[in-house]
Amino acid sequence: MAKIVCVLYPDPVDGQPTIYPRDDVPVLDTYPGGQSLPTPHALDFTPGQLLGSVSGELGLRAFLEGLGHVLVVTADKDGPSSTFERELVDAEIVISQPFWPAYLTADRVAKAPNLKLAITAGIGSDHVDLQAAIDGGITVAEVTFSNSISVSEHVVMMILSLVRNYIPSYQWVVRGGWNIADCVSRAYDVEGMTVGTVGAGRIGSAVLRRLKPFDVDLHYTDRHRLPDDVETDLGLTYHDSVQSLVAVCDVVTINAPLHPETEGMFDDDLIGSMKRGSYIVNTARGKICDRDAIVRALESGQLAGYAGDVWFPQPAPSDHPWRTMAHHGMTPHVSGTTLSAQARYAAGVREILECWFERRPIRDDYLIVDGGRLAGAGAHSYSPGDATRGSEPTP
Ligand code: NDP
């Protein structure tokens, strides 16, 4: 019998929905490039239902209790007296979503001697101290690709809404105004702009593909270069450094994991080297950008806009400056947790759990840490070390 602690975001303020705006979600055959979708033996939920909040339980309760395991689900995750920290002490498995991360710090790992598996319901396992997981022999797995396209759609939406000044224009309508000059004095077309991505993995590449029809000049930087045919097909210009990329871009989108190489990457110096009036869209991780440098750059006009859905810590405190800074288009961390995405990553979590209990290997694509080292997808995208440092801000 195993104890599984699952940390999920709170239910909607009016309770779990009983009716949804749509009756179904599209059924996908494969991910772009051919990776198969999750293949659990069975599902105990209807795709399109809210699964990522506490009452949704990722659709796991019947399955886990049917096997005789104990499932604890909570949203109470921060601080030493939280339910998460209390329940962790004898847990074998922890499940958490990046949207409402249960920070699995080295301290917490030390308090959880039975912990063997940490599953990220989604993508991005930086809320786990990966070095502590490596040292402690804990397997870390995530549901690679489950919400990559979801995020890429959010990125395109945010680029268009910043450049075209959508949110302030919408607000004029709500306020009863018809203030065209106010709306358009910060509005441009995206056509003809230079757009670059830091990281051209699953999300970054999907963003590039989606932007191609907008007739923009597409650039990227990554640790590994894309195949020639992809570069040619999309008309991409490769940069061997982020400095070289940002110097030529009007819009920069960040699609690299948070790890020691990327933590604090967008600081005063790098932002200062961008074209005046650039836009940044960051749906990767909040700590890739220096919080206060972003605020300063928006105030000075060095940046014309900043949008994204990732913060540090999460949930962001009510006085986080990104809530009130100039010319921002922030959302809470939602891009990867649409109802469509939840169905995929809930199914992926179930697949991982089935593998674990049946002692079958977890797909390489899902592994981040295994056997005391970075493994599978993690070996490709992360570097050893702890970029999270628990719930502490970047010094
Ligand atoms: P991938 O692993 O497919 O792609 C990440 C890419 O970033 C890889 O190509 C990787 O390089 C590259 N990279 C790593 N370090 C650097 C660096 N220092 N400079 C430039 N590129 C770098 O992941 P995804 O595209 O699926 O996801 C990317 C990130 O987006 C996740 O790690 C997560 O943090 C975030 N995310 C956010 C979500 C949200 O809801 N907002 C949801 C899902 C993900 P290479 O592999 O070539 O070494």
Give the pLDDT band of residue 283 (cuts 50, 70, 90): very high
**Res 390 pLDDT > 60:** no
Cβ 196 under 6 angstroms from ligand 1: no
Q: pLDDT value at position 391?
A: 59
Cβ 378 under 6 angstroms from ligand 1: no
Tell me if 375 sits within 8 A of 367, measured CB to CB: yes
Give the pLDDT band of residue 394 (cuts 50, 70, 90): low
Clarify whether 285 is annotated catalytic.
Answer: yes
Cα of 267 from ligand 1 centre, angstroms? 19
Residue 34 amino acid letter: G
Clarify whether 147 is annotated catalytic.
Answer: yes
Give the pLDDT band of residue 365 (cuts 50, 70, 90): very high
**Mean of pLDDT values over 14-30:** 95
Cα of 152 from ligand 1 centre, angstroms? 12
Question: Strands 367-370 and 373-374, how do they pair?
Answer: antiparallel
Q: pLDDT value at position 382?
A: 81
Q: How far is CA 386 from CA 95, 202, 209, 286, 377, in A?
A: 19, 23, 32, 15, 17
Instruction: Quote the pTM value.
Output: 0.96
Q: Which of 97, 147, 282, 342 is catalytic?
A: 147
Q: pLDDT value at position 384?
A: 75
* Closest C-alpha to 202, from 125, 255, 280: 255
Cβ 146 under 6 angstroms from ligand 1: no
* Residue nearest atom 41 of ligand 1, based on CA coordinates: 283
Q: Matching CATH topology for 3-146+337-373 and 148-330? A: yes
Q: How many CB atoms lie within 10 A of CB 17?
A: 15
**Res 200 pLDDT > 90:** yes
> How many residues comprise the chain?
395
Q: pLDDT value at position 217?
A: 98
CA distance 38 to 146: 8
DSSP per-residue string spanning 120-140? ESSS--TTB-HHHHHHHT-EE
Give the pLDDT band of residue 393 (cuts 50, 70, 90): low
**Mean of pLDDT values over 17-29:** 95
Q: Cis peptide leading into 313, omega within 30 of 0?
A: yes
**Mean of pLDDT values over 257-285:** 96
pLDDT above 90 covers a percentage of the chain that reads 94
Cα of 29 from ligand 1 centre, angstroms? 23
**Mean of pLDDT values over 67-82:** 97
CA distance 71 to 59: 11
| pLDDT digits 0-9 by tens, 94-129 | 999 999 999 999 999 999 999 999 999 999 998 999
Beta-strand (E) ranges in the chain? 3-7, 70-74, 93-96, 117-120, 139-142, 194-198, 217-221, 237-239, 251-254, 278-282, 303-308, 328-330, 367-370, 373-374
* Residue nearest atom 12 of ligand 1, based on CA coordinates: 199
Q: pLDDT value at position 385?
A: 72
Stronger pLDDT, 72 or 387, i.e. the higher one: 72
**Res 259 pLDDT > 90:** no
| pLDDT digits 0-9 by tens, 136-155 | 999 999 999 999 999 999 99
Cβ 239 under 6 angstroms from ligand 1: no
| pLDDT digits 0-9 by tens, 303-317 | 999 999 999 999 999
Say whether 238 sits in a helix, a strand or coil.
strand
Name 144's Cβ contacts closer than 8 Å, sequence gap at least 6. Answer: 35, 123, 202, 365, 366, 377
Question: Strands 194-198 and 217-221, how do they pair?
Answer: parallel
**Res 387 pLDDT > 70:** no
Residue 339 amino acid letter: L
- Cα angle: 9, vertex 385, 267; to 5 degrees: 80
Cβ 255 under 6 angstroms from ligand 1: yes
| pLDDT digits 0-9 by tens, 318-338 | 999 999 999 999 999 999 999
What would you report as the CA-atom Rg of the chain, rounded to the nearest whole angstrom? 21
Cα of 104 from ligand 1 centre, angstroms? 20
Out of 3.50.30.40, 3.40.50.410, 1.10.10.60, 3.40.50.720, the CATH code matching 3-146+337-373 is 3.40.50.720
Cβ 253 under 6 angstroms from ligand 1: no
| pLDDT digits 0-9 by tens, 210-242 | 999 999 999 999 999 999 999 999 999 999 999
Q: pLDDT value at position 59?
A: 98
Give the CATH fold of the 148-330 domain. Answer: Rossmann fold (3.40.50)
Give the pLDDT band of residue 41 (cuts 50, 70, 90): very high
What is the rounded average pLDDT for all residues in the chain? 96
Clarify whether 131 is annotated catalytic.
Answer: no
Q: What are the residue ranges spanned by the domains of the chain?
A: 3-146+337-373, 148-330
Cβ 150 under 6 angstroms from ligand 1: no
**Res 395 pLDDT > 60:** no
